[in-house]
A and B are shown apart, each in its own frame.
Chain A
Amino acid sequence: MTTQTTQEPEQPALTGGGGGVRAERLFSLWTLATGLLVLAILALILITTTNEAWPVLRAGGFRFITERTWDPNPQTGDAVFGALSFMYGTAVSSLIALLIAVPISVGIALFLTELAPRRLGAPAVTIIDLLASVPSVVFGLWGVLVVAPALVHVYRWLNDVLGGIPLLGDVFGVPVGTGRSFMTAGVILAIMITPIITSISREVLSTVPQANKDAAYAVGATHWEMITGAVFPHSFAGLVGAVMLGLGRAMGETIAVALVIGGATAITPNIFAGGNTMAAIIVQQFGESTGLFTAALIGLGVVLFAMTIVVNLAARVVVNRAELRMRGAAG
């Protein structure tokens, strides 16, 4: 709109106007460079952190991820760095979070795509957006000072009821007094990953062709039978991707978990006991660490980075492929 307007001479100089070939080339190269920055940062993260953690990774080898002891300042002998307890904690707390968050998130997504009247849809989306905008440290603060002390009573009750049963008794064991446990971490994580699973699920569910739904109704399905018979089969792959993205978030969440999980180095089936995750231990101990200890914490970061990259990449591939396939089916 603001560029050169008209050119008066009989022969318009079409090659000269518009700002020069060199400027064009410079500009396109500059934008390309900023685009490549993403790849450069990801590569640099891997290289620099691995390099810094190398002394520990080389000394420990595979024992770094198979050893369950984490003793940075032993009374005698060398420090022992084993990530297994924290990998276990990450897995357990993420699993609990998914078990709680997935049904709720898919439920909300179904509510928004299949049930909600239009004037209820917008406020519902706002609620989910607001839930996503609360900083994780605020959830952590609320979790450690309000939720954990409140949930202890529920844990005690569950332990009373189920504690005697052989296998369940181990899982629902004696709760710690503070309530800071795998379970509390799972509950807080579930709240935090609900928005992302909901928003991706909603995108996936909205690609189900109306024709499929109408066909289900036409053979006499109820609303719910239409959802299980037409919506779920069509969007299953995409929903799996959404759940994996949620898993990636849960694994990487640091601060809230660091506050509510209790900070114990332990592998126990008791979900009411304290534990720790990879992300949480880094932030808890980073301030007081030096030398090899710092390197070991950075090593935990490398393992965490690798795991989240794999999960996220797989999730994106699944979602993208599912969306492509669906668009093809819808067209």
Chain B
Amino acid sequence: MTATVPPATRAAAGQPDLRRSALSLRRRTTNRVAMAAITLALVVAATPLFLVTWTVISRGLDVLSWQFLTEDIPNSYRRSGGGMAPAIVGTLVITGMAALLAIPLGVFGAIYLNEYGKRKPLARVIRTMADVMTGVPSIVMGLFIYVSFVVVVGAKTAFAGALALACLMLPIVIRSSEEMLRLVPGELREASLALGARQWRTILTVVLPAALSGIASGALLAIARAAGETAPIIATVGLTFSVNTGLFEGQNTALPAQIFRNASQPFAAAQGRAWGAALTLVAIVLIFTMLARVVVSRFAIKER
């Protein structure tokens, strides 16, 4: 893998010359250029990541302050000052509720796929459709909840947003949890069954605890993804300028929606708020991502 050309030993008389220098210039150059291009691809992909991170941090820090994190949103784009507290609270409330809905359901779905369904045709269909569901555009999920919940109830609420995010998280949780359940060795299940435990007790008391750290890390990553979703929030949650912790009463807002609202405004105050909200959001997402890594590395020993 590492050697460019199989190492030639010695060009003995009558033997073909296998050394690198025997390659034609064209072939050698093509190879060099291609290898350089492949390496360059990684640099090209890393560049926007660093540029985004740097811009968000530098512009966000100009705005970020205690006041920014704790005060209400000004109801005019032009006005400077004020903060993002309602959006931060909204993001936490909506994402938290979505996690409460999606994670238990997703884990049970994964239990079905890995412990009961296995290779049955129905399980295969569900597996494929869960993969397909991860590709459903988030705005479509927002429209779905708007039509089937917001219109029915008659109001945009934080709970509607949580439902939409839960629908987006569900397939991610199912697929990642199933991967983790598959890592649990069969001997554990057999040992428990041999002691006389029924399958449901085996699953709840033996299989799930063994896979818990992996499932938790997958769930945290799903939360991180959901916290950054914008389109479903705009379609289902509405807008507020003051803190609203209620799930069912009154409209709410979230950080991504505020970034979107402020981003395309020509006013410096609005753009500043957008950068500050972006830094706050990235920090929240990063915290959950880091937490997922810590959970995996700290409890990974148990998995064996």
Contact = CB atoms under 8 A, between A and B. Distances in A.
A145 interface: yes
B256 interface: yes
B131 interface: yes
B167 interface: yes
A316 B128 contact: yes
A142 B259 CA distance: 11
A212 interface: no
Contacts of B129: 38-39, 42
Contacts of B228: 134-138
B153 to A, nearest CB: 14
Contact of B23 (A27, A218, A222): A222
B230 A39 contact: no
B196 to A, nearest CB: 4
A222 B27 contact: yes
A38 B126 contact: yes
A42 B230 CA distance: 20
Contacts, number: 305
B263 A140 contact: yes
A317 B129 CA distance: 11
Nearest to B229: A135
A37 B169 CA distance: 13
Nearest to A244: B135
A110 B39 CA distance: 9
B231 A283 contact: yes
Contacts of A106: 41
Given A138-B278, A144-B264, A225-B27, A41 B133 contact: yes
Interface stretch (A59-67, A69-77, A158-166, A249-257): A249-257
A124 B126 contact: no
Contact of B137 (A5, A223, A304): A304
B197 A3 contact: yes
Contact of B281 (A44, A135, A313): A135
Interface residues of B, number: 100
A51 B48 CA distance: 42
A253 B125 CA distance: 25
A261 to B, nearest CB: 11
Contact of A224 (B18, B35, B139, B235): B35
A142 to B, nearest CB: 5
B301 interface: no
Interface stretch (B62-70, B109-117, B211-219): B109-117
A282 B230 CA distance: 13
Contacts of B176: none
Interface residues on A, range: 35 or more
Interface residue SS majority, chain B: helix
A105 B264 CA distance: 30
B132 A223 contact: no
A114 B38 CA distance: 10
Contacts of A292: none
B207 to A, nearest CB: 11
A17 B201 CA distance: 11
B49 A131 contact: yes
Given A23-B198, A298-B143, A3 B205 contact: yes
Contact of A227 (B34, B39, B41, B49): B34
B21 interface: no
Interface in B32-47: 34-35, 37-42, 44-46
Closest 4 CB pairs of A and B: A135-B228, A107-B41, A252-B137, A18-B198
21 contacts: A2-B205, A4-B195, A18-B196, A34-B112, A41-B133, A111-B39, A114-B38, A127-B49, A137-B281, A140-B263, A144-B263, A222-B28, A222-B30, A222-B31, A224-B35, A225-B31, A252-B135, A283-B260, A311-B135, A312-B131, A316-B128
Given A48-B147, A110-B41, 11 more contacts: A7-B196, A42-B133, A49-B143, A108-B41, A131-B45, A137-B278, A198-B45, A220-B18, A248-B135, A283-B231, A308-B136
Interface of A: 1-5, 7, 12, 14, 17-21, 23-24, 27-28, 30-32, 34-39, 41-42, 44-45, 48-49, 51-52, 103-108, 110-111, 114-115, 117, 124, 127-128, 130-131, 133-142, 144-146, 191, 194, 198, 213, 217-218, 220, 222-225, 227, 245, 248-249, 251-255, 258-259, 279, 282-283, 286-287, 297-298, 301, 304-305, 308-309, 311-313, 315-317, 320
